[in-house]
A and B are shown apart, each in its own frame.
Chain A
Amino acid sequence: MARKNPNKNNEMPTADQPVDPSRRNLLKSAGIVGAAAMGTGTATNVIAQESQQVSSPITREALEVLTAEEADTLEAICDCLIPSDENGPGAYEARAVHYIDRALASHNKGVRENYMVSLEAINEYSKKTRGAPFYRLIKDYQNSILLGVQSNKVPGCAPSGSGFFNTVRSHTIDGTFCDPYYGGNQNFVGWDMIQYPGIRLSASETDVAQGAALEPNHQSAYDHDTYTKMAGNMAMNQRGGSDNA
């Protein structure tokens, strides 16, 4: 296949860059509960909902680690990876970014600097090539830049483009499909997406035979008293023996 003539650029001019009409804010005002309940997160639906003034804002979300601009950038990346589209909600509704922010404050703090450096590098690259930061670009441009990150064509990422891509992909999946306790998979949108019927402390032969047809129970591990701190007064005298020398 012949290479495209770089002089015949069929892309949009960079001077007046078309930007995504702040999709994040639209979704925000639509509310994740509403979007999830609709079983779809398409732009049309979101706009329709906004016009009806649906008011169920995102529940309290501190940014424990990320800056506001980092969060906007990451939000856009997560939405490219697991999009809200005609097939239903994605990483956005699951609040994968909220999960990642919390994880970077705790278990994943070792890669915080990679996020810092890479998110800035991606925005710099976006500004240089498309005239606006990543999170303000239209989805097509975002996707092509992200593909560039994955294939090591966007400079300045840490530990490398593909290395950062793999990290953020893995974390976005974690944040979309983990137990909701950790701040992602909100309203079980991730588990519903792949028809995971939910955590059960016991699965009968009939349950298994029904497989994916099993009604999703929408339970977190920590909806079970046994695993919460509240269970401290439960009689659990299982271990025998002494801790002492």
Chain B
Amino acid sequence: MPKNLPKTDVVIVGMGAAGGAAALPLTNAGLKVIGIEAGGWLSPRDFAPDELRNGARNWPQVVQKAASEAPTVRPTSDQKAVQGGHPMMNAVGGTTMHYWAQSWRLNPWDFAVVSATRARYGSDRIPTDSTVEDWPFGYEELEPYYEKVEYSVGISGQAGNVKGRINNGGNIFEGERQNEYPMRPLRASPFTDLMSEAAQRLDWNPFQGPAAITSELYDGRPPCQYHGFCNKGGCHVQAKSSTAFTTIPKAVDSGNLDVVTYARVTNVVTGNDGKVQGVDYVRGNETFFQPADVVLLASYAYENVRLLQLSKSRAFPNGLSNNAGQVGKHYLSHHQGSPVIALFPRDLHNWYGLPAQGVAIDNWADDNFDHSALDFIGGANLWAHTDRKPMSAAKMSTFGRVRNWGSEWKKFIMENADRSNVSYIQKTTLPYEGNYLDLDPTVKDPMGLPVTRITARYRDNELRIAEFSQDKMEEWYREAGAIEIQRTGLGNAMGATTHAYGGTRMGNNSETNVVDSWGFSHEAPNLGILGASVMGTSGARNPTLTVQALSWRTAEYLANNWRSVAS
């Protein structure tokens, strides 16, 4: 029998990007919160600039909970699913510890894909097998929460549209915002300058992208040191605005947040009345029951869905909040792959710098360009960034110029190690019939619980965007002086990725969505869900800031409506 713990107001499952952001407005409102986290506390001392340990050996996520329950993947339901890796890590702060920290708002179009596409091009332009819906609200509803997170967490960037005033230094396509970013953008690099100038010659609109990284002293944290070990490593000076160094310590200091580390939640307990009562978790060799008035799931998309599917009860025999059969549906993983690789005829000076220190092009994203003569909707954000380390530099593409080993190869990398660049292209991805998450019938985690099974593949719309955006990226590189271009494949199966969406989609229609427009379950009213699992569209940009804005909004709603939600 699990050991019963004293009841709390709110239990949050996962102290990462989402749970870590939600904790602050809740504790500020005086609610007692217990945050249950599968990982532990990390400090700047844990983030040595070590490419082998962090980049190649995947420290620290290889030994963690997420790794032990990596999803299995198959493109279609008639194939066998194979277990791969899991890209997320467990720690207080979650993947905000070692992510790239690009911190975008979605563009207004991403909230209204269906209605905006119908209005401009007619309804036959939505792919027939897509299950995409408009969000239950528009960009304007989320705008104040974006701002709260940008200021609370600490985001650097250049606004492109403040109260309708367009600034060409920022993203001219972004939705109208009420205020500037709290910090100027990260500095440009010789390479981003090269790319910006090329984009301007093409009549595109380049700008330094937004990042959850300090560009100046902010909230007691020093500015970024640009040393170049940001990707898959945490920040050695706390310049990366992880929730572990921003919202979570503040919530702890309020006296209202207790974080339980190294704890794995295995079940959300539900009463016969259909309300949740708390969670069971395992810590070491012990099992606990943590009762709470409200449960917020804030683990990663795969784990949110899995925990619901594992939590079967009399009220929910097919998994919690799944009586409408929508848990696991509308899954999509962001089409981030299929980059273009370029070789330049001179050194790019990219040995120092970070993936978030980049220049973006939004001209070919969302509906920022006319699709009348095209055979897809949506588009891609093009990202050229500064990031290079020696092992990965030596593993660079040889562009077919030499065999990939021996004296000729050695000569090649001696000359070219600092001359290549790999683009990052983020593309609109839609949800489809036949793309879903369920429990794998055979593969289990070390505790004997089934892992998530991903059944999903990209469709024509995604592949057409990929080809179109590769053309644009190649054009951009060539204009900047690239002498060789290499394209990679367009993609097929939607594997486990850092940008996973859906599975507990948000919407007013309880027949096609799991949570309502505030993030609470249509079926279990005191269960809230935080994270990209509630998002129905991906946009052409990184999800974290949107996840955090949504989490903040759900938390504020809960604090402001405590009696009606908790009772």
Contact = CB atoms under 8 A, between A and B. Distances in A.
Given A197-B351, A203-B225, A212-B418, A245 B410 contact: no
B51 A179 contact: yes
Given A82-B405, A169-B405, A202 B40 contact: no
B227 A202 contact: yes
A179 B52 contact: yes
A15 interface: no
Nearest to A202: B225
B521 interface: no
B414 interface: yes
A203 B353 contact: yes
B249 interface: yes
Interface in B45-91: 45, 48-53, 56-57
A80 B404 CA distance: 11
A212 B347 contact: yes
A193 interface: yes
A236 B43 contact: yes
A191 interface: yes
Contacts of B258: 241-242, 245
Contacts of A191: 390
Contacts of A82: 405, 410
Nearest to A178: B52
A176 to B, nearest CB: 7
A176 B353 contact: no
B288 A85 contact: no
A19 B254 CA distance: 74
A141 interface: no
A83 B349 contact: no
A9 interface: no
B347 A211 contact: yes
Contact of A182 (B49, B52, B249, B405): B52
Interface stretch (A25-33, A60-68, A221-229): A221-229
A226 B50 CA distance: 13
A241 B41 contact: yes
Interface string B337-365: 00000000001110111000000000000
Interface string B366-402: 0000000000000000000000011101110000000
A203 to B, nearest CB: 3
B417 A195 contact: yes
Contacts of A133: none
B485 interface: no
A196 interface: yes
Contacts of A241: 41, 92, 248-249, 252, 257-259
Given A90-B410, A177-B391, A196-B393, A243 B227 contact: no
A57 to B, nearest CB: 25
Candidate in B50, B225, B244, B418 with the most chain A CB atoms within 10 angstroms: B50
Nearest to B189: A208
Nearest to B415: A194
Contacts of A224: 48
A201 B49 CA distance: 8
B173 interface: no
B190 interface: yes
B304 interface: no
Contact of A170 (B236, B261, B395): B395
B38 interface: no
Size category, A interface: 35 or more
A178 B395 CA distance: 12
Given A174-B52, A227-B48, A211 B190 contact: yes
Interface size, B (range): 35 or more
A143 interface: yes
A11 interface: no
Contacts of B348: 211
A221 B48 contact: yes
Contacts of A169: 404-405
Contact of A173 (B248, B349, B391): B391
Contact of A87 (B45, B51, B263, B410): B410
A106 to B, nearest CB: 10
B406 interface: yes
B231 interface: no
- Among A201, A203, A240: residue with most chain B CB under 10 A: A240
Contacts of A179: 50-53
A238 B288 contact: no
B271 interface: no
A202 to B, nearest CB: 4
A87 B413 CA distance: 12
B5 to A, nearest CB: 7
B405 A81 contact: yes
Contacts of A243: 40-41, 259, 261
B283 A245 contact: yes
A199 B347 contact: no
B417 A196 contact: yes
A177 B390 contact: yes
A178 B349 contact: no
5 contacts: A83-B410, A179-B50, A194-B393, A208-B190, A243-B261
Interface of A: 80-83, 85, 87-88, 90, 107, 143, 146, 150, 169-170, 173-174, 176-179, 181-182, 190-191, 193-197, 199-205, 207-212, 214, 221-222, 224, 226-227, 231, 234, 236, 238-245
Q: Which 10 A-B pairs have the closest CB atoms?
A: A211-B349, A203-B352, A194-B417, A241-B252, A227-B48, A202-B225, A240-B249, A178-B52, A177-B390, A221-B48
Interface of B: 5, 40-41, 43-45, 48-53, 56-57, 92, 187, 189-190, 225-228, 236, 238, 244-245, 248-249, 252-253, 257-261, 263, 283, 288, 347-349, 351-353, 389-391, 393-395, 404-407, 410-411, 413-414, 417-418
